[in-house]
Structure 1
Amino acid sequence: MDQNYKPFILGFSEKGKYVTVQKRYGRSNDTITVFDTKGKGRTVGDIINYKVGQVFLGDDAVFSTDPNKAEYWNLKTNRRQRYDNIKRSCVLPEARTYSILDSDNTITVYNHLGLKLYSLNDVVGNPVTDYLKNNYIIIKKRELYEIYDVSKEQPQKVYVSRNMLDHLMLSDAKNYLIAVEIESENKGSAGIAKLTVVHTAKGTVVKSSIGGWNHYENPNFIEFDNGSSLLMNSTQMIPKSKTMEIWYGNDGDLNRNQSGSDRINRYRVIKTNSGVVQDIPAGDFTNMIPTGNDRHILTFKSGALQNYESLWENADMNVYDLKTGKFAKLDIVKMLELYLSKKGNFITYKNVDNNWVIADLMTGKKNIISHQSLGLYSGNMRNPVFTNSDQDIYFESKIGLFVYSTSLNTLKLIPETENKEIKILNRTREIFDAGSGAFTRLTLPYKEPVIVEMTEKEENKTSYLKLKNYKIKKLLPSTGNKITSIYFTQNFNQSVYVEENYTVRPKLIFRDITKSKATVISESNLNDHRSQLFKLEVIRYTNSEGKPLKGLLYYPAGFEPDKKYPMVVRIYQVQSKTSNEFHIVGYNNPPAYDLKRLVESGYFVYLPDIVFGKKGTGLSALDCVNSALDAIQHRPYINTDKIGLTGHSHGGYETNFIATHSTRFAAYLSGAGNSDIVRSYFSYNYNFHSPFYWQFENGQYEMPSPFSENKELYFRNSPIHYAEKVNAPILLWAGKKDRNIAWDQVMEFFIGLKRHRKNVIALFYPNQGHTTGNTTCEGKDLYQKNMEWWDYFLKDKKEVPWINKQMKKDAF
């Protein structure tokens, strides 16, 4: 476990000279190696036990952070400076400075060469930073509160007040620093408050009076109208009764019962040039989000349409016009899927018919995207990305890259991407909290081309493209290997990436795109010579509904065709896209499952694809697994009497169900899986903060109808109803802090099996949740027991005391 690792790129210096790579071993992830990409690609050195983050400071230094410690490392001179027992560190790559706040509340600022610039004492609280170019602190000197900018080579005093400065914060786009001034230092009482708004670039200061204030308000500020205005949302949490909870059937925000508080939002517009404050008459509306232009604010009442048939609520969206002071109805937005353009004049959203709608807020016109000539149902498109000018909108999809012109109202497919799955890599994302979900602004950086990851699904091949002026240029050629992480320089002339495959050790590769030249910087796991000899076969089959599917059949190490081998089948949903992944032995694998260890221990491992249909989730899974087994049943080297089935979470439910309906398996291992889907359907889920029936109607279970319309369908797909039919030993496990799948679902199945005198063992971990954690003592225990379970039943290695206590007669 300590020899082999999976490399993952964490950062790429601005000129492409250095790259930081995390080494993910079987036991830990605490080593980060810095490589020099030039020449032969030498190893510069390692960073150990700094897990919070690493940031390049210029092109020749890297800064590492962890709770209570930090380290500066000059890669050019190899000088390292470590800082211990600190309260907070901050690195600003654009300002090329970093700072250390020590336990004595003294902040010291250094330049990119690691040289001390200055220190300031008596810092109050923690710095406020954008982690790029701005860093601010409050210092209290006698009766004065002083705000300093400590991002530059000299400290700059920004503001001084005799009033207490409360809630120092940055606006969402980081162009404004806002401090709340209150007259009294008694934080438990309300007082009169003023806002001090500082432009971070210009240094200009304006003040706004906001009246009554309570310290427990939690304000945030969203910029719009090119930064000329701020939408201020101050939130008060009103505690609910601790002696009684009242749940109402017409309440679309049940999370308030879980959180124990009612939420009251107050919205105001702050003019950043004058400080003028304008209250917005919210009425019944609970959420307001500015679109970005100078007049339009999106408004809706959270929960008004929510009955939890889907996780994210539909919203009856309205638009408030700041110039007219009037509200106008927009549309019903499906599941809060709404995206804002850069300038805020356009929005795009899904309507209740699942079509994309482009709305021009300035003209009031709306266009539904449904381009029949392309044979495209617009619901297939996702993640609309706006250009800076709002001229074009790029849509990702599984069938190509589409571009919509807002001026021409036309939708075009980029021909080179047809029938390929597309992901845009260089989009920037802004998130705006909205009810139970969020609105999003996805935009392309100014004057940058579109950088695309394109996947050919059938062959599982990936390539990287640059699109500029609707013309495609290949950055990386198509490969059947998996690209696990990739970075580009700002001009997209250089890239660094990790490439691997099942039988190909991971390689760190530097590519000069202008010269089409690739250089291997490092190859991991050089001691692993067996993996190159491993065999993987892609099995093609169809389920009973004629759906073409794939299964991945991994052969045991040292396979000899005249021998018989046991096999472990692992199930979830579609797994065939993982065919080009390299595997390592160790705890950094899914819970109770280590593919490579199984292969090296002489097992076949089979990963069949599962899709759901009209039969319901469990019966569909059974059908797919039976079809997958039928496709390999005549192979004499697979011992059909020694096949095990395993799954976790949704795969655990599928394993439970198949165990009640199949005679093809010698043993089962199921983790954190549902047993009674009717009870689960009508439960409240504390992980998703909602009733759970949405997961069955419009979520992962994909049940064809609600419970009320086909109760028998749900009964037929519940494992607990058939517990008496299980005919092979089963190992169950769950964490008793699981808030995703209630742990007592596993206990229920255990009790059902025990009632019918089945061979069952259940492992319950009181301090773990939906998983056991990779390196916890519980995770290590489960890892070991998983292998012992398979060896016991599939290889007849019977000297395992904890299993014998169940399997041997009179063991108790």
Structure 2
Amino acid sequence: MMVTRFYILAFLLIQGLCWSQNIDSLNAVYKQYYETALRANSPNGRYVILNHSNTYGKNDYELLDVKMDKTTMLGNYDQFQFLNDDLLLMRNSNHCRFTDLRTGQSTEVSGNYIIQPTQESAQVILFNPSLRELLLVSIEGKVLWRKQDVRVYQLDTTTNNLIYTSGNDLVVTNLTSYRSKTYKVNSDIQWISSVDQRIYAANVQPKQIELYSVDLRSEKLTKQLVAVPEGFESTTRLITYLEVRENEHFIFPLYLKSKLERYENPELKITYSNRNGEDKMLYYHLGIYNLKNEQWDYLPDVNDEIPVYKFLNDKGDFIVYDLADDVVEEQQNRILDLNLFLNYGKNSYLLPQKRIEEGNYLWDRDTKQFVYFNDTTWISHNIITGKEVDLIPPNTKGWTSLEHSGLAKAPATNPVKIKGKCAIMISNHFDYFVIDLKTMQLKRVTMGEVAKTKYQLMLSKEHYPKSSWNIRIAEIDLSKDLLFKTFNKLSYDSRFATVTDKNNKTTFFQQGHYRDIIPYDNGYFLTSGFALEPFKLTILERGKYHTVYESLKKEKKGFEGARYEIFQYKTDLGTSNAALLLPVNYDPNKKYPMIVNIYEELSHDVLFFLQPYLNIMTGFNYMHYLMNGYIVLLPDLQYEVANVKNSVLLSLEKSIDSAKSLASIDDKNIGLIGLSYGGYETGLALTNSKYFKTGVAGVMISDLVSHALSQSEFMTKPNYMRAENHQMRMNNSVLDHWSLYLENSPVYHVKNIEVPVLLWTGLKDKNVSPAQARMFFMGIKRQMKKAVLLEYINETHNVLQPFNQLDFNIKIWQWFEYYLKNKKPADWIRPLTQ
């Protein structure tokens, strides 16, 4: 049936019927395809919730009974929570539905609620912030009690206490014993926290904070007034940053009053060359008040203009740096002086000239070592002795991130702390290692490099600190098995593995195209998907694998015959990957036009199943082109710093040459397409290569000189940062090497262009100025060569409005149909042909 529909569609296209009919026919075919994702599963693994969605409005949820191999369509819900093996809670903006999957009986609680199941008792908390209504409901859906005028609440999962305020009452209810205690407060409480056996509640005002505390052992309520330091104000806008540590240190954010009161003329913008571009943004300062001593542990410095605070652990050790010190703003991973404060500010140390981005450093409290990445290796700095030790053996490599050819100046991955040990885990491009910070010994954990297999440590939110103040550094427990995902960089196969640190044992799971692993009581769910391979769900129990669900089993016959190949190509710059996708019903005895889609490294696009549709916001859906007679190439391009043009051309042409040896490509009908940075690369290729019959460049950068000397509205930084140390990879200032910028700018090679070009931009783009595409177009127009410029008036860097998405997807397709297949030109193309 599916194959028949495609033959009918092909017949319509051959007959040259109007495009609107063709589009309707395509959409009728495409709308039956969708993407599937696993949203929830029961603890025992019997049930899973699957979501099926596409761009045509499909958004269905389905309950799969794994044991019975039975599916049931569910209603329109946005959250699913299994309360036990058989009870399912579903919520939307109208109600919460509690369903017993054994009997099929349901109970509904009307209203738009936030749901929070309790872990220690068979209950669910429902909260409606707009109505200030708090409900306690049994897992069967019975409302146990309902409270009104509740502004804030918190569930302490350690004690199973539900704490909330209602009017002037601060109520503590134990959900296990149902014992409740009410305390009277005379303030409007906006924040509640529970630490050990003490509860804190605060009323935040600009000049003071009223802090209430309840000792649950003595059931005594006390109140303290914390006066805000002179020159600062507290605010409820950052209420989630309030925190009490060790039942003594009250941490909260403050705004600099002078910034709050600063008058700005709305008709005038003043910028200073000796100030950081973010100096007018409202950054918060840190205050730490000692509740026992009733004095300040740490007072913020009014001279810090753009301060940033990062706590390094759950104690009182933190760093401070001031972004205002970065005046030039040419680095993406900035180097600044770090001030290390210990014990809530009692001691301080200067750590000069360190990279500031998270993941570049951590702190080991016991050994007093500040561990940091210095662009190529990990260094340990002892703050007491001043001694520095290179933690990486000289015979190892690959520790620097490959992002932007290493110009990110960051480690390959973020370091990980080891629970209960003075040790950290780090990784290079393939493997993980543990470093003992006492002995400085390095121990290898995985062995992937020889097989070109990259290991990725699987971390969940439980591994990361809960505090909003802390740096996002995970912590693992080596007494438990570590779970890794492996990815072969040559074949793109993936699988999971567990590593037991005690005996250095590695246990591998089955290899395939696996995406996620979800444990349940007696096994694992494994999800998989890939290009041309829709979602598949596999269970692993007692060492045996069994596929329990396959998406699009019938529908995928529509793209039978299409296939992919991952291959490697070589240049003087090294070896890189590319993905070659062959069309539906591919015949090696027939020549096919090919479209090359470029944007740095695009071969990894095949790691995901892509449904065909004609309103993708990038303008290019490779599945659509595979189903309409095109070969598609997705190369990983190569880069030489300060020589982007030549390295891109070398690698792009070599990847195409290699593809020609693998498939029946019509080398006289090769098109090129790129978006954003890919548009820049497309401009370079079309002006310097003879490989292409036509090209499409979207929201491109064409002139590095004007781009570098402009201000980014998107990143609030000068664009010379992006030119020097980001994607453009110039690694030099335009003022020192302007000829290098000219050489690597497409517009200065536009005189060489010989093929027609389709350009598009969004006139509200704050990422790349629309003037960049326009000047490239003007260069073509000045020579009376062929180009069309599409300017979408109300679009930005991506086309987001559905009507415009469909329009420019169709126009790009029509462009390739005319220039690569010699089809009749669409009406909007015809003026260019006359």
TM-score category by the smaller chain? 0.7 to 0.9
> Shift of residue 118 of structure 1?
0.8
- How far does the alpha carbon of each residue in 1:596-626 deviate from its partner, in whole angstroms, 9 at most, with x for none? 1111111111112201114622332222112
State the one-letter code of the partner of 2:528: E
> Shift of residue 589 of structure 1?
5.0
**Residues 1:426 and 2:459 are matched in the alignment:** yes
Residues 635 and 305 (structure 1 numbering): CA distance in 2 closer, same or farther, change over 3 Å?
closer
- Residue from 729, 751, 759 that aligns with 2:756: 729
Partner of 1:92: 117
Partner of 1:535: 563
> Shift of residue 93 of structure 1?
5.0
- Residue from 241, 255, 260 that aligns with 1:238: 260
**Residues 1:164 and 2:188 are matched in the alignment:** yes
**Residues 1:265 and 2:269 are matched in the alignment:** no
Partner of 1:711: 738
- Residue from 34, 43, 62 that aligns with 2:71: 43
Preserved contact between residue 695 and residue 757 of structure 2 (Cα < 8 Å)? yes
- How far does the alpha carbon of each residue in 1:715-749 deviate from its partner, in whole angstroms, 9 at most, with x for none? 11111223333322222222333332233322333
Partner of 1:441: 473
Partner of 2:102: 76
Partner of 1:408: 439
Within-5 A mapping of 1:747-758: 747-758=774-785
Preserved contact between residue 292 and residue 344 of structure 1 (Cα < 8 Å)? no
- Residue from 34, 37, 40 that aligns with 1:8: 37
Quick one: distance in 1 between partners of 2:454 and 2:791?
41
Residues 208 and 500 (structure 1 numbering): CA distance in 2 closer, same or farther, change over 3 Å?
same
Partner of 2:6: none
Quick one: distance in 2 between partners of 1:596 and 1:59?
39
Residues 539 and 292 (structure 1 numbering): CA distance in 2 closer, same or farther, change over 3 Å?
closer
- How far does the alpha carbon of each residue in 1:175-225 deviate from its partner, in whole angstroms, 9 at most, with x for none? 98653336xxxx8xx554312246899987554321256556635547686
Partner of 2:678: 651
Residues 431 and 181 (structure 1 numbering): CA distance in 2 closer, same or farther, change over 3 Å?
closer
Tell me the SS of whatever aligns to 2:707.
helix
Quick one: distance in 1 between partners of 2:415 and 2:197?
25
Preserved contact between residue 579 and residue 603 of structure 2 (Cα < 8 Å)? yes
- Residue from 794, 818, 824 that aligns with 1:792: 818
- How far does the alpha carbon of each residue in 1:261-301 deviate from its partner, in whole angstroms, 9 at most, with x for none? x4352411344xx4844241443453444433655332332
Residues 635 and 197 (structure 1 numbering): CA distance in 2 closer, same or farther, change over 3 Å?
same
> Shift of residue 633 of structure 1?
4.6
Within-5 A mapping of 1:137-216: 137-140=164-167, 144=168, 146=170, 156=180, 159-165=183-189, 167-170=190-193, 178-181=200-203, 190=206, 192-197=208-213, 207-212=223-228
Quick one: distance in 2 between partners of 1:365 and 1:79?
68
Partner of 1:54: 80
> Shift of residue 40 of structure 1?
5.0
**Residues 1:458 and 2:490 are matched in the alignment:** yes
Tell me the SS of whatever aligns to 1:689.
coil
Tell me the SS of whatever aligns to 2:774.
helix
**Residues 1:507 and 2:536 are matched in the alignment:** yes
Residues 357 and 102 (structure 1 numbering): CA distance in 2 closer, same or farther, change over 3 Å?
closer
**Residues 1:568 and 2:595 are matched in the alignment:** yes
Within-5 A mapping of 1:617-656: 617-633=644-660, 637-656=664-683
TM-score by length of 2: 0.83
Gap runs ≥5 in structure 2 = 1-29, 401-409
Quick one: distance in 2 between partners of 1:406 and 1:454?
27
> Shift of residue 168 of structure 1?
1.8
Within-5 A mapping of 1:111-150: 111-124=138-151, 137-140=164-167, 144=168, 146=170
Preserved contact between residue 645 and residue 684 of structure 2 (Cα < 8 Å)? yes
> Shift of residue 550 of structure 1?
2.8
Quick one: distance in 1 between partners of 2:170 and 2:238?
22
- How far does the alpha carbon of each residue in 1:128-161 deviate from its partner, in whole angstroms, 9 at most, with x for none? 6799977654322xxx354566977959456431
Preserved contact between residue 508 and residue 520 of structure 1 (Cα < 8 Å)? yes
Quick one: distance in 2 between partners of 1:5 and 1:638?
30
State the one-letter code of the partner of 1:785: K
Partner of 1:248: 272
Within-5 A mapping of 1:662-811: 662-773=689-800, 776-804=802-830, 806-809=831-834
Residues 701 and 550 (structure 1 numbering): CA distance in 2 closer, same or farther, change over 3 Å?
same
State the one-letter code of the partner of 1:280: Y
State the one-letter code of the partner of 2:252: M
Residues 62 and 770 (structure 1 numbering): CA distance in 2 closer, same or farther, change over 3 Å?
farther
Within-5 A mapping of 1:254-403: 254-257=277-280, 259=281, 262-263=282-283, 265-271=285-291, 274=292, 276-283=294-301, 284=303, 286-292=307-313, 294=315, 296-305=317-326, 307-322=328-343, 325-337=346-358, 338-340=360-362, 349-358=371-380, 367-374=389-396, 381-403=412-434
> Shift of residue 502 of structure 1?
3.5
Quick one: distance in 2 between partners of 1:69 and 1:529?
39
Quick one: distance in 1 between partners of 2:549 and 2:65?
10
Tell me the SS of whatever aligns to 2:828.
helix
State the one-letter code of the partner of 2:355: K
State the one-letter code of the partner of 1:518: Y
Preserved contact between residue 274 and residue 327 of structure 2 (Cα < 8 Å)? no
Partner of 1:20: 49
Quick one: distance in 1 between partners of 2:234 and 2:517?
47
State the one-letter code of the partner of 2:296: Q
Quick one: distance in 2 between partners of 1:174 and 1:740?
47
State the one-letter code of the partner of 2:421: D
Preserved contact between residue 74 and residue 114 of structure 1 (Cα < 8 Å)? no
Quick one: distance in 1 between partners of 2:825 and 2:326?
59
Structural RMSD (CA) = 3.6
Quick one: distance in 2 between partners of 1:637 and 1:295?
65
> Shift of residue 507 of structure 1?
1.1
Preserved contact between residue 297 and residue 345 of structure 2 (Cα < 8 Å)? no
Gap runs ≥5 in structure 1 = none
More strand per residue: 1
Preserved contact between residue 9 and residue 486 of structure 1 (Cα < 8 Å)? no
Residues 28 and 413 (structure 1 numbering): CA distance in 2 closer, same or farther, change over 3 Å?
farther
Tell me the SS of whatever aligns to 2:766.
coil
> Shift of residue 522 of structure 1?
0.7
Preserved contact between residue 642 and residue 732 of structure 2 (Cα < 8 Å)? no
Tell me the SS of whatever aligns to 1:440.
coil
> Shift of residue 364 of structure 1?
7.1
Quick one: distance in 2 between partners of 1:650 and 1:768?
18
Quick one: distance in 1 between partners of 2:352 and 2:807?
53
State the one-letter code of the partner of 1:459: S
Residues 29 and 292 (structure 1 numbering): CA distance in 2 closer, same or farther, change over 3 Å?
farther
> Shift of residue 649 of structure 1?
1.6
> Shift of residue 524 of structure 1?
0.6
- How far does the alpha carbon of each residue in 1:350-408 deviate from its partner, in whole angstroms, 9 at most, with x for none? 34454323456788765431212445657755221112213332223322111111232
Tell me the SS of whatever aligns to 1:509.
strand
In the alignment of these two chains, the number of paired residues is 776
TM-score by length of 1: 0.85
Preserved contact between residue 355 and residue 374 of structure 2 (Cα < 8 Å)? yes
- Residue from 510, 514, 534 that aligns with 1:483: 514
Preserved contact between residue 401 and residue 417 of structure 1 (Cα < 8 Å)? no
Quick one: distance in 1 between partners of 2:804 and 2:750?
28
Quick one: distance in 1 between partners of 2:299 and 2:600?
48
Preserved contact between residue 416 and residue 472 of structure 1 (Cα < 8 Å)? no
Partner of 1:585: 612
